[in-house]
Structure formats: C-alpha cells, structure tokens
Amino acid sequence: MKDPVTFYPGDDPVREEAGSGGSAILKSSASRRAFIKGVIASGAVAGSSTFLFGGLGGCSSDQPAAGTIERLLSLNVNGKIRRVDVLPNETLAMTLRYKLGLTGTKLGCDRGECGACTVLVDGVSTYACSTLTHMVGDRQVRTIEGLEGPDGELHPIQQAFIDELGPQCGFCTSGQIMTTVALLEANPNPTRDEARHALSGNLCRCGAYDHYLNSVMRVAQEA
C-alpha cells in the first residue's frame, strides 16, 4: 500500500521525510484557485481547437453537414435571384421583410388568418407568415414591390384601389392587392361573388370590403 500524500499550499514542491515510518509529505504550491484556472485554460484550448479544425472544416465543404440543411438559399423574388441566409424555422414573411427589405409584405396576425402577408408563389396567393422559406425552393415569389412598372407607374389594380377608395388604414391593402392579382390572372372576368370569395381570406379591420370589391370589378371591366 502506497504512503498517503498530502498537498499543502506553499512554495515549490518539497518532499520531506515524515519520521521513522518512511512516509513522505509533498508540499505543493498548487492551490485550489490555481487548479481551477488550469481546468478553465485547458477547456478553452480544447474548445478553440474544435472550432479551428472542426468549424473551418465544415465551412470548406460545399455540402451541409449530415442532419442539417443548407442555409444560404437562392430565391427568385420579383424576377431576380436573391442570395439570402435563412434559418431553418424562418418564415417567408420574415425573410422578405427583414432579410430582403421588402416591407410591403405586412405582418398582421402572424398565424395565417388575416392575409396581410399575402404574396404570390408561382401565381398562387400564399400566406407568407405560415410558409417556411426553405419550402419555396426555386418557385417564383412575387410581392407588391414586383407590381411596379418600368417607369415607377402603378399597376392597374393599385390604381383602381385608389380610385375606389379601397385603402383606409392601408395595412391590409398589399395583401388585398396581391390576392386580386392572383384572381384576375386566373379569371380576368370574375363575378362579384367570385371576387368576394377570392378576397374572403383577407381581413379588413376598417370594414372597407365593398370598396375593395368595387376595385376588383372596376379593373375587370376596364381590362
């Protein structure tokens, strides 16, 4: 059985004989504080080496690591390819507004009920707040900014909404317009009931529903 060794804070380690029993007492300058500092330092070195060799190695690969998804996406928005860093759980509304600066897409209820965030995805009206950006893929996204003419002129639907006093507070207007674009591209001459049904997913807290319906019918008649 080995003799017990006791550590004491003090000067450099000195081994002293402890009587006739031959047991040795080792005095050490290693205090509790020095021990903790050593543990922290060794952990920092291990962590930095992991970052250096593991992290940079991941960056050098063209493919995402196993079990992950690609974050840098190419999105077709308003006819242009936009490269954007997208989180796995990020919605299309968040990407458009806060990554691409397309704030015409409004965030209302943020749970797919009010329609303020409506955009077109391959020509279909879609709630951007309940669509993950990673689900879009290479499909074409169109926001209200994409309706602007080459010289900055308004789209006929936007002009009709103004002429018929559709916008009140205006918060739901961009969603109403995008829904109308989808409707008239699919059905250029809808009945009033068909227009009402198409716009039923867009809430107007100002209650200007008749104004919006008049706008839709005005565009259809002028087309």
Q: Encode pLDDT of 91-126 as tens digits.
A: 999 999 999 999 999 999 999 999 999 999 999 999
CATH topology of domain 71-223: Ubiquitin-like (UB roll) (3.10.20)
CA angle (167, 142, 222) in 5-degree steps: 55
Alpha helices per DSSP H over 67-191: 92-94, 156-163, 173-186
Q: How far apart are CA 66 and CA 47, in angstroms?
A: 21
Give the tokens for residue 8: 């004491």
Angle between helix axes 209-222 and 173-186 (nearest 10 degrees) is 40
Residue 192 has pLDDT above 90, yes or no: yes
pTM of the shown model: 0.70
Residue spans per domain, the chain:
14-59, 71-223
Cα–Cα distance measured from residue 194 to residue 117, given in angstroms and rounded to the nearest whole number: 21
β-sheet with 118-121: strand ranges across: 80-85, 72-77, 140-142, 118-121, 124-127
Cα(first)–Cα(last) distance of the chain, in Å?
Answer: 102
pLDDT in tens, 126-155: 999 999 999 999 999 999 999 999 999 999
User: Do 24 and 18 form a contact (C-beta atoms < 8 A)?
Assistant: yes
- 3-class state of residue 211 by DSSP: helix
pLDDT tens digits for range 14-32:
454 445 454 444 444 556 6
Strand partners, 217: none
